[in-house]
Structure 1
């Protein structure tokens, strides 16, 4: 039995010169100008005094500490302190305050504040109306689908490889459309509230059932339901305004024009999901479905009430069901330095760094396993397929940087290390794959653990780190950005992968 290991990836950001970006190289060079001037003037005292300062500045700019340089840490800490003083780290919803005017408009905190939702035109053979998600801050449009997949836990290696190839085909399809900016795959493992079981029991309970059987069934339900979990998955397709604007004008313009263009992309993505990827169901969410998905992202405990109301309304009871977008967000939220508090819940978010040794398909499964009953785990993977021209430029720059570094090390007499040889080989392999028509995809992963606010959230954050390490990956806590990390990991709106130089 053989399992395919995926490891053909490189760093997202490569330096122009010896691993340094253009800004870092310029700052380090400017910091060394006084030392060069002192050396030229033969002012040896000034030269000797400035060298330690130069070394300290270079270390502050270049040496990473838990993913960020010391200078970046200082800047982020100052921004977080300013946000706390100005009150930007605390959120209160308009619906909770009684000041919401339009209940169809989303009211979300932090990086989700620019989200607006629109009911699009009819889609598909059933003429459903999937909701179109507009991000005014990032200038993007998105659609969200709930998917069902049989999983790969019991699949044969050949089936796993076929599904992995199907996912690669999906990313290449997204790149060929020249419209899709980001594809996100989000999986949640949440405590089972027993709403469906309770509704089924109430509908099928027999009045003449033996007392012992009813007692045993009630005991099993009370014992097993708190320990049970359920899994739900979402796929989000994000399209940038810069890419969709021209096609939208040809389709009528406005929101409806963008929705029609997005519908064509959704049809292609749905065909790939149902085909090579192996999904058994793909349902594009309408406004009520998206509001429920967002609400259960912020408050996992509300799912039972929402499902019970939907089941009761479906059975013919006169009961209001559904949820307006204005109440989908939290009533209150507060961004702390190392966790995010929202309503009666607290969350810790990590980004997941890919291992140099590669990973097999499904290696992140331990991250989704709760360590205790009542804990919710979320995992979101962002796929950003790059256009061919931009991918070619990036690979060419990385190849030039690697070649320059190897030649400098060779001239200085340093031996080429195994990691450097492997990185050079990976860059060459990426260039070969681009030449035959494959796509270059940026990849990022965010994982989140959510527990009731009265629980020790710090301990559950350490357990999340341990789960990521047990899966063979490296966790990196998103300190000072826990609110943005939570939005990326737990809310299926396609928010999370940052812009590159202001471009999508």
Structure 2
């Protein structure tokens, strides 16, 4: 992601991104071309032997193969759609996707062990050694499936809605510095920024009123106060922001061994990363607080991700525990997930009494200004929760150099073929050539390359129409100047990426921007 700044134009427009992987020739990779050429061999052999009937009989089959491999359908090839649909049918028949928690079945063995469905099933959490001046013990998240380690922080940021242009630019530069530092260290593989927006539940206000409301107050004042509280609660929204830092086992193993080995050794290495990230978040990015979550706080964040309405009970228990130490205010990790999740539907995901729809957001070619996605963060009615997660994946300099070299060769080859074939080189082709050249210049100047992915989700109670709210989410994304892509057949994985702050990202597929 690069920044384009014009002193005559405000606000700043960000752009210069490209596809994750460029096709080797005419938009297709080497594997696709090999499949097409191998599929055409029987036709060539039959034509070489003058067996024209056999050649004509194989021609439709070859055409179908070309369509399946080369024609994209909503972000995936037709062959990929067929394989994904088959795998989903097999999973439904074998009941692999029908899940129930151990807590609901009364079979919990360890209350500190996470019990989560789907792609989150490999998550395990550990309490790290004391960290910081308050000797807190942040939760270390281990993903046994992906072999990664992660830590999660809750951040507070004043936002950019009332910020001036220079302040926004400074914050954007601070985020670039943060990602440049992560890429230079070559330790962090993914940094996820998640923002949840939900209608205010009034939990803190209700607790304050119970503690401070005078019973002998005039009845008219009590009635006015109750009416104002109801109006304010309905009109208010609440924001939660999390930053998740993910480090692969392959990058941390050697340093962890030198730090003592085991979970504590990996935690000490992560603490060094956390210190650098926290300094940049509190400095150039403009955050007012950064709190690394311990196990109870992480369990609460996961639980409210699955069930936004449970926050009221958690806040009430926490406030009551301040006056009565016998009340259990913390949520065990074993109860952080949902009680049950049926087989995921093709277009949405059901979890307990809630439904969710997840879309990925494709970045526009014309670029976007900071704050363009504001409508996507805004709920449209009471009870609706919006959640957006941006995944930043720093790319090492060597890998970025290979990617730019391959993209430059592909662009030059396509341009030369168009000229020799007599086709006109259009403005979009010249723009792509200039973009590749600009990336090469920025890479030579030492700038870092970052892979960006965005997932947005809307969650509503199952008493409301999830189809309608999913359509509203897509409409808000389109109105913001971006393109939505519904994650059909993968709504459960998309929900985990968009709503649960554990660093679980989207599958790496070709063609995603």
- Structure 1 residues 411 and 49, CA gap change in structure 2 (3 angstroms): farther
Given the alignment of the two structures, is residue 441 of structure 1 paired with residue 450 of structure 2, yes or no?
yes
Mapped contact 2:189–2:246 kept (Cα < 8 A): yes
Mapped contact 2:360–2:454 kept (Cα < 8 A): yes
Who is 2:46 aligned against? 38
Moved over 6 A (4+): none
Q: Which of residues 7, 25, 43 in structure 1 aligns to 2:15?
A: 7
Who is 2:265 aligned against? 257
Who is 1:474 aligned against? 483
Given the alignment of the two structures, is residue 427 of structure 1 paired with residue 474 of structure 2, yes or no?
no
Q: Offset of 1:422 from its aligned partner?
A: 1.5
Given the alignment of the two structures, is residue 162 of structure 1 paired with residue 176 of structure 2, yes or no?
no
Q: Offset of 1:317 from its aligned partner?
A: 5.4
Mapped contact 1:186–1:233 kept (Cα < 8 A): yes
Alignment of 1:87-106 (within 5 A): 87-106=95-114
Who is 2:412 aligned against? 403
Deviations 1:4-37 (A, max 9, x none): 1111100012112221112101101111112222
Q: Which of residues 414, 423, 427 in structure 2 aligns to 1:418?
A: 427
Who is 2:395 aligned against? 386
Mapped contact 1:226–1:373 kept (Cα < 8 A): yes
What root-mean-square deviation, in Å, do the aligned CA atoms of Structure 1 and Structure 2 show?
1.4
Q: Offset of 1:192 from its aligned partner?
A: 1.2
In terms of mean alpha carbon deviation, does 198-207 or 88-97 score higher? 198-207
Q: Offset of 1:174 from its aligned partner?
A: 0.6
Q: Offset of 1:39 from its aligned partner?
A: 3.3
In terms of mean alpha carbon deviation, does 343-352 or 52-61 score higher? 52-61
Who is 2:305 aligned against? 297
- Distance in 1 of aligned mates of 2:263 and 2:16: 39
- Contiguous gaps of at least 5 residues in structure 2: 1-8
- Contiguous gaps of at least 5 residues in structure 1: none
- Distance in 1 of aligned mates of 2:434 and 2:97: 45
In terms of mean alpha carbon deviation, does 203-212 or 267-276 score higher? 203-212
**What SS does the corresponding residue of 1:276 show, helix, strand or coil?**
coil
Who is 2:223 aligned against? 215
- Distance in 2 of aligned mates of 1:418 and 1:110: 45
- Distance in 1 of aligned mates of 2:133 and 2:199: 35
- Distance in 1 of aligned mates of 2:418 and 2:42: 27
Mapped contact 1:353–1:473 kept (Cα < 8 A): yes
Who is 1:279 aligned against? 287
Q: Offset of 1:60 from its aligned partner?
A: 1.2
Deviations 1:268-288 (A, max 9, x none): 000110111100000000000
Alignment of 1:350-369 (within 5 A): 350-369=359-378
Mapped contact 1:6–1:359 kept (Cα < 8 A): yes
Deviations 1:200-255 (A, max 9, x none): 11122123322111111111222331342101100000000000000000000000
- Distance in 1 of aligned mates of 2:74 and 2:126: 40
- Distance in 2 of aligned mates of 1:103 and 1:489: 26
Mapped contact 1:226–1:374 kept (Cα < 8 A): no
**What SS does the corresponding residue of 2:189 show, helix, strand or coil?**
strand
- Distance in 1 of aligned mates of 2:318 and 2:432: 53
Mapped contact 1:35–1:50 kept (Cα < 8 A): yes
Mapped contact 1:141–1:239 kept (Cα < 8 A): yes
Who is 1:372 aligned against? 381
**What SS does the corresponding residue of 1:237 show, helix, strand or coil?**
strand
Q: Offset of 1:439 from its aligned partner?
A: 0.7
Given the alignment of the two structures, is residue 68 of structure 1 paired with residue 76 of structure 2, yes or no?
yes
Q: Offset of 1:164 from its aligned partner?
A: 0.8
Mapped contact 2:127–2:140 kept (Cα < 8 A): yes
- Distance in 1 of aligned mates of 2:188 and 2:507: 15
Q: Offset of 1:316 from its aligned partner?
A: 4.7
Who is 2:129 aligned against? 121
Q: Offset of 1:312 from its aligned partner?
A: 1.9
- Distance in 2 of aligned mates of 1:417 and 1:131: 53
Deviations 1:127-163 (A, max 9, x none): 1110000000000000000000000011111111111
Deviations 1:292-319 (A, max 9, x none): 0000000000001101111222245542
Q: Offset of 1:500 from its aligned partner?
A: 7.7
